[in-house]
Structure 1
């Protein structure tokens, strides 16, 4: 057997071994009773998943104009993080522009209730999970960064840790952008609603150490200013948190890097290291 054939056989065996240990990626069909429709979600199971073990879960939200498959198609390496940290990663569908809010103007958009109640209930009933806030974290990018912090602060009984990557943490400056007005109505009609549904408007609901928080933003991102402001507000309120500014903009190159640090943060939380 010549050297080239030996190398090819070795390569084939290595690939087979890696595939055998790879995370399992499923697309599940969930149902939202409140919106009366079926909604897809990606569920990534670690390679060693066993029904005999209860696993933590990280809910990973997509951004504006995205869908449930964004993370696994645009950053396929994210599935390796489920293996690395031995927890489930769930990527919900938040529609084109739901902002993960229960819309006060259109009851067709009820993605707060869907993600934090209906989807969590589905995941906990169909998979072997830690059915407690100590085993749940949530994060996301852009619209999903807003959604993750908004949902975690609003539902501190459901999530123990939360993060955001390039999150739109203040909706008010973007009253005419990103279809937010289809969820909240016109800003001038109800500015209080816009303030109340913005992450920066929820600061009073946070108590020191009640929720483990991490968020980041690229230095060249158009959301950098509002993230810096939120960081300063958290400091003034003495709310412990991790905040990082890295080189980069509002791009998948940035998020594919940032998600690694987010997932490490959550692993440390689940293992009581934070």
Structure 2
């Protein structure tokens, strides 16, 4: 009952803020869809970016940034249309549970069975990880008012994007202050997932890249120096009790525990669904907001 009362007051606060903004004519938060041409990928790549209400009001203000990654077969639109990112963020800011931030979702996917590339790692013909760090992140933080340091940069994602965000922070712990991994593809599961149609198709290439970039193996083989750097990142792993990736997430947590790297771990009721990931925003965004330097 308390949960429903809280949601009622969050919704009421959000509606009041919308009404006040409409009456005063003040700018509101917005999500913009744009694109960047990648020399590395030799293609345009779209992205969605959430800009908070004050972005157009205070031209000198800079913001912390969250890179929010989508899952396999999805695109940059998923968190906007199915995760309802703007509505959730507006509610959390209005209630004081999260501070204003910029949130950007790059496009690393599409219909893989129709021949579109998917994945956050470098693969033959798809050097996406190079694109992300050498072109995309640089472009975003140059063209938007981003603070641009470790203590004001976080990364999160669901499924394929949960594994991608975890791996990115493992390889670049000097760049991210926090990671929130939802239903994360830490490695290929024994059962479930999307099987390849033949041994050489793009799904097979994606699966191979996930195995080669196993987040579990990375921790198990990390040097003492690497482990020390990983301890400078705030880690949060969130996976449903009916999720086919739960075992892999537990294996990751076990490796983190053995390596003495602090983390938070939640197993909630749910599966590998948008209902679960939407609800995760109410946990992940306040967590990330608290981690940013004030």
Task: Calculate the TM-score normalised by the size of structure 1.
Answer: 0.83
- For the residue of structure 2 that corresponds to 1:213, the secondary structure is strand
| Residue matched to 2:51 | 45
Residue 22 in structure 1 maps to residue 36 in structure 2: no
Residue 184 of structure 1: how far off its partner (Å): 6.7
State yes or no: 1:200 paired with 2:216. yes
Deviation readout 1:57-102 (Å, 9 max, x if unpaired): 0011111100011110112244542671200000110113522001
1:114-263 equivalences under 5 Å are 114-171=131-188, 173=190, 177=194, 179=196, 182=202, 185=205, 195-203=211-219, 204=222, 205-207=226-228, 209-263=231-285
- Partner of 2:288, secondary structure, is helix
Relative distance call for 1:60 and 1:176 in structure 2 (3 A) is: closer
Q: CA deviation at 1:243?
A: 0.8
* Residue segments in structure 1 that go unaligned for 5+ positions in a row: 1-9
How far is 1:253 from its partner?
A: 0.6
| Structure 2: distance between partners of 1:256 and 1:42 | 17
Q: 1:174 to 1:149 in 2, by over 3 A?
A: farther
Shift of 1:115: 2.0
Question: 1:86 — aligned with what?
Answer: 100
Q: Secondary structure at the match of 2:80?
A: helix
SS at match of 2:180: strand
How far has the Cα of 1:181 moved from its partner? Answer: 6.7
Look up the SS of the partner of 2:176 in the other structure.
coil
Over the aligned positions, Cα root-mean-square deviation in angstroms equals: 2.9
Per-residue deviation, residues 91-129 of structure 1 (Å, max 9, x unmatched): 1101135220011xx13x122122233111111111111
Counterpart in 2 of 1:269?
291
Q: Distance in 2 between matches of 1:175 and 1:186?
A: 15
Show the counterpart of 1:33. 39
Per the TM alignment, residue 157 of structure 1 is displaced from its structure 2 partner at its CA by 2.9
Measured in 2, the distance between the counterparts of 1:258 and 1:151 equals 20
The count of corresponding residues between Structure 1 and Structure 2 is 256
Decide which moves more: 109-118 or 68-77.
109-118
Distance in structure 2 (CA, Å) of the matches to 1:65 and 1:45: 25
Secondary structure (helix, strand or coil) at the match of 1:206 reads: helix
Distance in structure 2 (CA, Å) of the matches to 1:206 and 1:196: 19
Q: Distance in 1 between matches of 2:276 and 2:47?
A: 23
Q: Deviations over 1:158-179 (max 9, x none)?
A: 2222121001111364798455
- In structure 2, how many angstroms separate the alpha carbons of the residues matched to 1:216 and 1:18? 39
Q: Distance in 1 between matches of 2:189 and 2:25?
A: 46
Q: 1:183 to 1:246 in 2, by over 3 A?
A: same
Q: With structure 2 as the length reference, what TM-score do the two structures score?
A: 0.78
Match of 2:8 in 1: none
Tell me if structure 2 keeps the 8 A contact 1:138–1:159: yes
